[in-house]
Structure 1
Amino acid sequence: MQHQFPKNFWWGSASSATQTEGAAFEDGKGENIWDHWYKTQPNRFFGDVSATDASTFYQHYRSDIALMKEIGHNSFRTSISWSRLIPNGCGEVNPKAVEFYNNVIDEMLAQGIEPFINLFHFDMPMAMQEIGGWESRKVVEAYTEFAATCFELFGDRVKYWFTFNEPIVPVEGGYLYDFHYPNVVDFGRAVTVGYHTMLAHAKAVAKYRQYQQKNQQQEGQIGIILNLTPSYPRSQNPADLKAANIADLLFNRSFLDPSVTGEFPQGLVDLLTEHGQMPVCETGDREIIAAGKVDILGVNYYQPRRVKARLTAVDTNGPFMPEWFFENYEMPGRKMNPHRGWEIYEKGIYDIMTNLRENYGNIPCFISENGMGVEGEDKFLKDGQIQDTYRIEFIQDHLSWLHKAIQEGSDCRGYHLWTFIDNWSWNNAYKNRYGFYSLDLATQTRTKKLSGEWFAEVSKNNGF
């Protein structure tokens, strides 16, 4: 076998509570920002489709977990919905939610699937958003208590915990580029949101360390999941190199460095200070963040970021934005996903692994998301099955580069595809399909795609 992966490699997929569970207003679940935003602006969602029903995992988790097992999953990541577990964000715990998550975790373990549980995947409880969301230190404290509650309730069975998924996305979407609620465009507030997110992360890590000491449970690990998007300069011209470095500081290292090294990169601090954009830092914050270093890192990778030095002057009357420092660059001859409009650059996964090995102490990590979205995937339906050979090729090519990184010493322990069953995707609803199983929205029928069959073989052989 050409590509043999390390023993006990994690093969599986990833999803989130809001994108799969449905039952958005059932069994005592509180409203989150997505439920609220849809009520106020349904036109902001593709096809006016909300996450109210999603892919009905809340009802079908048992049969869905059996389907995971069928295609060789030995691990699966999902999240706990903060607004389902603690409907007001703080205070009373919802017993129906405890029962549901206990059932999901127990069913996964019964099927030999390791649960990877994430605590926050873009789904701020509306009650918390109303008091400022991540701009508020009260919300940081409420999240810390939510995390501690999860450890107490489920930590006896869950060995892999993650504080946040892609924490840069609520910053970009909610506070810079207007594609997530609360639709603010304000760099200073965006920085505060990012800073408080890292404080919340570190405080949750501290709670987990306390939980471990109290329960003598040393085998559990806590991490964070980051969408690390390598910033490639157009050329080796110093201006292009500087542009790529700033993009890297803002979009990658702003979360990577504090998570892994315990401190923010000096280059980022200097940049924010120079432009009067530093967040309010309180006494003791630095020590909290220093103690929030992770055991393991989840890496989401879809596409590269290519940048160049700005060729035009900045309009200083407009809002201060990251694009003051760089422009996006479309590399001629790049390989594209024609069904989604994203560049496909498989070597990016190798470059990320090499960076983690050389500059971040070779932290234990795994690919927590990678995948290929396809609009109108029904056009590949043949004899009742989606013949997604393009997805097989996509995964295989990324795994080949990942294998090379592992051969060179990168401590990568698994690969999770986004996603298991075609799921609801934030503003895009069901426009782009990513799953190993296709979902018929009208009947909620799940049908295995060709990629699902292929993946079962890969998992069985621990390689290809």
Structure 2
Amino acid sequence: MTSPFPDDFLWGCATAAYQIEGSPLADGAGASIWQRFSHDPRLMAAKGDTGDVACDHYNRMADDVALMKELGLQAYRFSVAWGRVLPDGTGKVNAAGLDFYERLVDTLLANGIEPLCTLYHWDLPAALDDRGGWLNRDSADWFADYARVMFDRLDGRVKKWVTLNEPWVITDGGYLHGALAPGHKNVFEAPIASRNLMRAHGAAVKAYREVGRHEIGLVVNLEPKYPASGSPEDTAALARANAYMNRQYLDPAIHGTCPAELATIFGEAWTDWSADDLALARQKIDFVGVNYYTRNVTRADDSWPLNAGMVKQPLATYTTTGWEVFPQGLTDVLLWVKELYGDPAIYVTENGAAFFDPPVAEQGRVEDPLRVSYLRQHIAAVGEAIERGANVKGYMLWSLFDNLEWSLGYSKRFGIVHVNFATQQRTLKDSARLYREVIATNGACLD
């Protein structure tokens, strides 16, 4: 058996704090916008589902790391709950919260697992939201100060840092469509939040260059767009959709520019970025994290504000989140990043699928053949991108555990480890057994 993956390729899994930790207010932690959102039945699609317990990882961390070791994970991408470390978002550090992440990192290292730390995975401290959140230009300074706290304590033990996870989702879901925290629906707010997120990213990278000695990057969710037809209308819709989702954050971060299509999309809500803002957003990063789940076959329509929609494929397999299974899109998007952004180092920082799994494991086993097939195809797609020249350094499967799928609650299971949410029993799914073999053979078992 041969493998397209280099010998130093990094195999891991990914999670996010609010989705797995539980105990969101324990030991002096401050509330987050997701704590507020999930407890508001007017906002939460899955009414009654919250992160109060989730996977109880806050109390089960050591056992969970032992499970990671059992799976052979070489890396674990996690996020820090900002409000655990700084309950008010700024000011006094909560020692108990910072100590939790220090214990997590030390436990990972003791088990031979490299920590990848994401500073922001959507759970802004509520105290900062009360001050305007990502609509306040001071948010860049707030974020940089928080980042310094983490760098000062953990840089060296953590050698790979991520500033933001998926700024597109933060703004599209949280400020434009109201489906995610903080639950706003305002076309004027979305571009302001986007700009401040990228200013915050740049400010954190600058702070890291002052004190850090390793690597820092940005994670974006990318969804390759394919035209529904060759019509001028569909071609223009594709350009808008690509600019809005795939270029809106990478262009400022790497090229120091904004896609021209954004002015068309946002209309009177759009304001050109200043030279200073573009310069702040454009900091040298060490890698790009790519989160990939699906593609979009794009056609022109009257959707707000993009005037572009998706054409469903009649013979395709779709996940329970309504996303088409299309592994070729992962190869395509990795090569697109290579070509458009100067061949950066890339980590696939999320990739996975929600399919139906029973709420209770039967006789200690969960068979998930669709997820097994999904992983086989998508990991092979990463291998194809590497063979074609993409500089992909690692793959972080989403997700290690079934968890709170944000506003959709516990109804969507992405994990390769099944969680019985009544008992917190963990059970390896068949997909976990496959992934363990993938890691052990550096992908050669997929031949």
Structure 2 CA distance for aligned equivalents of residues 89 and 280 of structure 1: 29
Q: CA offsets per residue over residues 106-148 of structure 1, 9 Å max, x none? A: 0001111110000111101100001111000122211111011
Partner of 1:401: 381
Q: CA offsets per residue over residues 283-312 of structure 1, 9 Å max, x none? A: 62232123x2321011111111221123x6
| Letter paired with 1:175 | Y
Structure 1 CA distance for aligned equivalents of residues 329 and 409 of structure 2: 27
1:327 pairs with 289, 306, 309, which one? 309
1:45 Cα shift?
Answer: 4.4
Structure 2 CA distance for aligned equivalents of residues 242 and 340 of structure 1: 27
2:332 pairs with 341, 347, 351, which one? 351
Report percent identity of matched pairs. Answer: 33
| Letter paired with 2:261 | L
Structure 2 CA distance for aligned equivalents of residues 113 and 181 of structure 1: 32
Partner of 1:317: none
Partner of 2:130: 130
| Letter paired with 1:349 | L
| Letter paired with 1:328 | M
Quick check: 1:228–1:300 contact (8 Å CA) kept in 2? yes
1:456 Cα shift?
Answer: 1.1
1:47 Cα shift?
Answer: 4.9
Structure 2 CA distance for aligned equivalents of residues 322 and 108 of structure 1: 44
Q: Specify whether residues 192 and 340 from structure 1 end up closer, same or farther in structure 2 by C-alpha distance, changes over 3 A only.
A: closer
1:43 Cα shift?
Answer: 6.9
Partner of 1:452: 432
User: Aligned with 1:392: secondary structure?
Assistant: helix
2:411 pairs with 416, 427, 431, which one? 431
- TM-score under structure 1 length normalisation: 0.91
User: Aligned with 1:236: secondary structure?
Assistant: coil
| Letter paired with 1:409 | G
1:167 Cα shift?
Answer: 0.8
| Letter paired with 1:388 | D
Structure 1 CA distance for aligned equivalents of residues 30 and 371 of structure 2: 36
Alignment RMSD, CA only? 1.9
Partner of 1:296: 287
Quick check: 1:3–1:400 contact (8 Å CA) kept in 2? no
User: Aligned with 1:105: secondary structure?
Assistant: helix
More divergent stretch after superposition (384-393 vs 245-254)? 384-393
| Letter paired with 2:256 | G
User: Aligned with 2:8: secondary structure?
Assistant: coil
Structure 2 CA distance for aligned equivalents of residues 259 and 393 of structure 1: 35
1:25 Cα shift?
Answer: 1.6
User: Aligned with 2:26: secondary structure?
Assistant: coil
User: Aligned with 2:78: secondary structure?
Assistant: strand
2:278 pairs with 273, 276, 286, which one? 286
Structure 1 CA distance for aligned equivalents of residues 189 and 43 of structure 2: 26
Quick check: 2:17–2:81 contact (8 Å CA) kept in 1? yes
1:328 Cα shift?
Answer: 2.5
In the alignment, structure 2 segments of 5+ residues that lack a partner are: none
1:280 Cα shift?
Answer: 6.9
Quick check: 2:38–2:407 contact (8 Å CA) kept in 1? no
Number of aligned residue pairs = 444
Partner of 2:395: 415
Partner of 2:318: 336
Q: CA offsets per residue over residues 226-253 of structure 1, 9 Å max, x none? A: 1001111101222211110101111110
Q: Structure 1 residue 44 and structure 2 residue 25: aligned?
A: no
In the alignment, structure 1 segments of 5+ residues that lack a partner are: 315-320
User: Aligned with 1:31: secondary structure?
Assistant: coil
Q: Structure 1 residue 268 and structure 2 residue 258: aligned?
A: no
Q: Structure 1 residue 440 and structure 2 residue 431: aligned?
A: no
**For residues 151-230 of structure 1, what are the structure 2 equivalents within 5 Å?**
151-212=151-212, 217=213, 220-230=214-224
